[in-house]
């Protein structure tokens, strides 16, 4: 019998189990990255954002501060602001201050992180109506917005990079039905050495984040992964234009999950995440294919990260 986490819904747990079993049954074992974000995973991600090697958050924060007036003019004040994968909402604060939205709808799969961020924002912005939505943005969601007031979708952090280009295209097309304007944070192509360092930090926080996925499967689904038998492995794949994160089995062994048995050869990997890096042209073309007719791009001074303003 699986040990259910307090508060975990049986349906979500069933979907989690199904995805894990399907992913570990493939010739190249894989797990969907959305499952990184239980409460522990969200805390580890917050630590990643503060690492010296992880330029992503700092670059996006800097460019948002630098171009805030132009971004606010593009989005328009008094809109309904819908944010996918809101997490801690670090950058959201800047937009909320500049846009003064009539409602802010943060959407995140990590319920604990979502509630904590919403509580903090409510203290900071007592005038703001906040309508948090715990859910999976890869599935259709009922978003509580009013017709008649313009909506803006905000998708920062390069979370779009964790989708395959096909999934990103589907996501952008879906968002076009939610709002006519979108702000998307995109990590840009750069020196592979900088990318490599960002996903192989010296303090080992990214490794802990990657391994927490196995710990979560043990906690919530009652599997018997031995974390000492796996090693974090992340590298830039230039042909694919993406960082790949894997967990490498250090020795031949078998993992049990209920009635399932998953055999690992020494050196075999579980592919846990892709993090796509785009050139401005590549992302512009993807947005155009998804039906956005015009796009603006703001970048930080070093050209590491881009914020795209898309209009349908
Ligand atoms: N926007 C924040 C957090 C980025 S981390 C920032 O820029 O720093 C990615 C966030 O997306 C996490 O909070 C994670 O819980 C959430 N997330 C990942 N996959 C998701 C999915 N399928 N549906 C909803 N939220 C998801
Ligand atoms: C959330 N996402 C954009 C992060 C990234 O950079 O792909 C997740 C992450 N994985 C390892 N470090 C950070």
Whether residue 44 contacts residue 208, with contact meaning beta carbons closer than 8 Å, is answered with yes
Q: Which tokens hold the place of 276?
A: 């796509």
What region, left, alpha or beta, does residue 193 occupy, with left being phi > 0 and alpha being psi -120 to 50 degrees? alpha
How far CA 213 is from CA of 45, 209, 248, in Å, comes to 12, 7, 13
* CB-ligand 2 contact for 274 (6 Å cutoff): no
* CB-ligand 2 contact for 272 (6 Å cutoff): no
* CB-ligand 1 contact for 110 (6 Å cutoff): yes
Which is the closest atom of ligand 2 to the Cα of 87?
1
Q: Which tokens hold the place of 3?
A: 């040990």
* CB-ligand 1 contact for 158 (6 Å cutoff): no
Ligand nearest to C-alpha 56:
2
Q: Which residue has the tokens 């794949």?
A: 237
| Closest C-alpha to ligand 1, atom 11 | 85
The C-alpha atoms of residue 199 and residue 60 are separated, in whole angstroms, by 17
Enumerate the β-bridge partners of residue 311: 181, 294
The C-alpha atoms of residue 53 and residue 51 are separated, in whole angstroms, by 5
Among candidate residues 71, 117, 115, the one with its CA nearest the CA of residue 90: 117
Which is the closest atom of ligand 2 to the Cα of 158?
3
* CB-ligand 2 contact for 161 (6 Å cutoff): yes
* CB-ligand 1 contact for 85 (6 Å cutoff): yes
Which is the closest atom of ligand 2 to the Cα of 56?
6
**Mode of pairing for the β-strands spanning 242-249 and 269-276:** antiparallel
Q: What is the pLDDT of residue 212?
A: 99
pLDDT digits (tens, 9 = 90+) for 225-237: 999 999 999 999 9
Among candidate residues 154, 176, 12, the one with its CA nearest the CA of residue 87: 154
Among candidate residues 256, 250, 290, 284, the one with its CA nearest the CA of residue 270: 250
- Rg of the Cα trace of the chain? 20
Q: What is the pLDDT of residue 11?
A: 80
Whether residue 187 contacts residue 158, with contact meaning beta carbons closer than 8 Å, is answered with yes
The C-alpha atoms of residue 278 and residue 305 are separated, in whole angstroms, by 10
Number of alpha carbons in the 13 Å side-chain half-sphere of residue 154: 31
Q: What is the pLDDT of residue 6?
A: 45
Q: Which residue has the tokens 């328009």?
A: 76
| Closest C-alpha to ligand 1, atom 18 | 34
The C-alpha atoms of residue 239 and residue 253 are separated, in whole angstroms, by 32
Ligand nearest to C-alpha 137:
1
**Cα distance from N-terminal residue to C-terminal residue, the chain:** 49
Which residues contact residue 290 at a Cβ distance below 8 angstroms, ignoring those fewer than 6 apart?
A: 169, 172, 173, 176
- Please state at what angle helix 39-49 crosses helix 111-124, rounded to 10 degrees: 60
Q: What is the pLDDT of residue 8?
A: 66
* CB-ligand 1 contact for 86 (6 Å cutoff): yes
Question: Distance from the CA of 85 to the center of ligand 1, in angstroms?
Answer: 3
pLDDT in tens, the chain (312 residues): 333 344 568 889 999 999 999 999 999 999 999 999 999 999 999 999 999 999 999 999 999 999 999 999 999 999 999 999 999 999 999 999 999 999 999 999 999 999 999 999 999 999 999 999 999 999 999 998 898 999 999 999 999 999 999 999 999 999 999 999 999 999 999 999 999 999 999 999 999 999 999 999 999 999 999 999 999 999 999 999 999 999 999 999 999 999 999 999 999 999 999 999 999 999 999 999 999 998 899 999 999 999 999 999
Burial 258-275 (b: 16+ CB within 10 A, else e): eeeebebeeeebbbbbbb
Residue to mutate, 51, 54, 85, ligand 1, most ligand atoms under 8 Å from C-beta: 85
pLDDT digits (tens, 9 = 90+) for 53-91: 999 999 999 999 999 999 999 999 999 999 999 999 999
* CB-ligand 2 contact for 38 (6 Å cutoff): no
| Closest C-alpha to ligand 1, atom 17 | 85
Number of alpha carbons in the 13 Å side-chain half-sphere of residue 254: 6
Among candidate residues 182, 173, 185, the one with its CA nearest the CA of residue 79: 182
Residue to mutate, 86, 198, 273, ligand 2, most ligand atoms under 8 Å from C-beta: 273
Which is the closest atom of ligand 1 to the Cα of 137?
23
């Amino acid at each position: 019998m699986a040990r259910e986490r307090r508060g975990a819904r049986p349906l979500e747990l069933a979907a989690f189990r199904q995805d894990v079993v399907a992913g570990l049954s493939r010739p190249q074992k894989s797990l969907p990255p959305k499952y990184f974000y239980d409460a522990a995973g969200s805390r580890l991600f917050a630590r990643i954002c503060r690492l010296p090697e992880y330029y992503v958050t700092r670059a996006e924060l800097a460019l948002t501060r630098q171009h805030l007036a132009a971004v606010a003019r593009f989005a328009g004040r008094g809109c309904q602001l819908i944010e996918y994968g809101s997490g801690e909402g670090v950058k959201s604060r800047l937009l909320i201050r500049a846009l003064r939205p009539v409602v802010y709808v943060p959407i995140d799969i990590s319920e604990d992180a979502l509630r904590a961020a919403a509580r903090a924002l409510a203290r900071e912005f007592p005038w703001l109506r906040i309508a948090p939505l715990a859910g999976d943005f890869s599935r259709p969601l009922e978003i509580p917005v009013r017709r008649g007031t313009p909506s803006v979708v905000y998708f920062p952090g390069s979370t779009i990079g964790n989708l395959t280009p096909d999934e990103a295209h589907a996501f952008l097309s879906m968002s076009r039905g939610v709002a006519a304007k979108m702000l998307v944070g995109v990590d840009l192509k750069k020196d592979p050495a900088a990318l490599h360092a960002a996903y192989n930090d010296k303090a080992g926080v990214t490794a802990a984040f990657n391994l927490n996925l196995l710990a979560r499967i043990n906690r919530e689904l009652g599997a018997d992964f031995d974390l000492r038998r796996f090693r974090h492995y992340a590298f830039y794949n230039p042909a694919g234009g993406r960082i790949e994160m894997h967990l490498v089995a250090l020795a031949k062994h078998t993992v049990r999950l209920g009635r399932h048995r998953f055999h690992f050869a020494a050196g075999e990997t579980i592919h846990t995440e892709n993090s796509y890096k785009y050139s401005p042209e590549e992302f512009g073309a993807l947005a155009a294919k998804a039906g956005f007719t015009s796009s603006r791009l703001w970048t930080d001074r070093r050209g590491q990260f881009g914020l795209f303003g898309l209009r349908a």
